[in-house]
Amino acid sequence: MTAAQLGRHAALVENLHGRGLLDEIWRTVWDAVPRAPFIPRLAWRQTQTACEPLTTEADRLALIHSDEPVVIQLDDGKPDGPGIATSSNSQPSMVARMLRLLCIEDGHRVLEIGTASGYVAALLSHRLGDSAVYSVEIDEGLAHHAAAVLRARGYQPNLACSDGEWGWPGQAPFDRIIATCALRTVPHALVQQLHPGGILVAPLARDFWSGAVVQLTADGSGTAAGRFQGGASYIPMRSHRPPAPKPVDTTTCRTTTAAVDPREMLNLGFALYAGARLPRMRMVHADQADGAQVWLQDEDGCAATAVTGEDAYEYGVRSLWQEVERVHEEYVALGSPEARDFGLTVTARGQQVWLHHPERIIEPDQTLMG
């Protein structure tokens, strides 16, 4: 790398340190591991509507040295696809947050789910040593790229091309596990591969969530529990991609008064609560000039939409907008708890979202589910 590139990398690290995202140990690690060598020549910038190719070296380096993600694969690497991002080098500040939540100490063995570019594996290898780092990647092309660039940079962590859903049972147990792809649910296999007291940090993406980071601690009996630690936006694990919903029957369209501004539903605390109360309901939103639009849909094709200042529209046999408004009333009555007031418990029987403490489980409301 040129002196100018190293300077821009140093500025990025200083920015992360100044924001309190890197302690002195991690700051030294990040200083020693520039991001640029891990980004393939073919890369894209993610916008709200599409992935734009980085056509000049100046654009490529500007994005690499910013606090933004860099898309490194479209359409699982297949040609002539729709141009959907399927792998990325994550936003540096998000990587720093996730590594901080791991609470790594000298001597720990760490499993990474989703090698992708190899950058996080390099950071972990520099921090702990190659032999303590294990990383799995399902995509053969990405796994080959990561292995080559890691080797070229002098790192030799333990790498495997396999489905991260199953972890790396032959090398378990681990002190720490980090997922760098979004999970719909935490695979119990990963909990089983943690030492008692071991920590798992992962981004989750459910139907109602735009994304949330969870930090779980294993108790040694097959259970792990912990709190949500803020929002996150990660590309889904391949086996955890959401199924496509059924088409909406637009002939059943009807209006209903929107008593709640859609903007009030766009905080993570409400999303965590509503996602537990109304499982299998999907929510997406779009910002408007003076408000927001929300779109709700269930897996059977019922739907609803509302825009700030206007009536809501509902489709199908369920009244989804009225259901979500009633759940919002419950949420407000609880004091509108923050995202970190919620937690998750994972066992062999499944997983449950809770509020304030693990005994206060948020159960699905069958009366609202049609």
Q: Report pLDDT digits (tens) over 222-233.
A: 999 999 999 998
Residue 5 has pLDDT above 90, yes or no: no
Decide: 143 and 121 in contact? Cβ < 8 Å.
Answer: no
Q: Report pLDDT digits (tens) over 178-211.
A: 999 999 999 999 999 999 999 999 999 988 877 8
Among candidates 262, 270, 283, which has minimal Cα distance to 339?
270
Residue 367 has pLDDT above 70, yes or no: no
Does the annotation count 131 as an active-site position? no
Residue 1 has pLDDT above 80, yes or no: no
Distances (CA, A) of 32 to 108, 227, 255, 305: 20, 32, 58, 49
Confidence label for 368 from pLDDT (cuts 50, 70 and 90): low
Confidence label for 4 from pLDDT (cuts 50, 70 and 90): low
User: Which value, in Å, is the radius of gyration of the alpha carbons in the chain?
Assistant: 21
Decide: 45 and 51 in contact? Cβ < 8 Å.
Answer: yes
Q: What is the mean pLDDT of the chain?
A: 94
What pLDDT, on a 0 to 100 scale, did the predictor assign at position 287? 83
Q: Report pLDDT digits (tens) over 309-345.
A: 999 999 999 999 999 999 999 999 999 999 999 999 9
What pLDDT, on a 0 to 100 scale, did the predictor assign at position 209? 74
* Mean pLDDT (whole number) for 4-25: 92
3-state secondary structure of 150: helix
What counts of helices (H) and strands (E) characterise the chain? Answer: 9, 18
What pLDDT, on a 0 to 100 scale, did the predictor assign at position 271? 94
Q: Which residues contact 359 (CB under 8 A, 6 or more apart)?
A: none
What pLDDT, on a 0 to 100 scale, did the predictor assign at position 336? 97
What pLDDT, on a 0 to 100 scale, did the predictor assign at position 3? 63
* Mean pLDDT (whole number) for 18-29: 97
Set 87, 88, 90, 117: catalytic member: 90
> What number of other Cβ atoms are within 10 A of residue 130's Cβ?
16
* Mean pLDDT (whole number) for 290-315: 94
Confidence label for 63 from pLDDT (cuts 50, 70 and 90): very high
Residue 113 has pLDDT above 70, yes or no: yes
Residue 31 has pLDDT above 80, yes or no: yes
3-state secondary structure of 202: strand
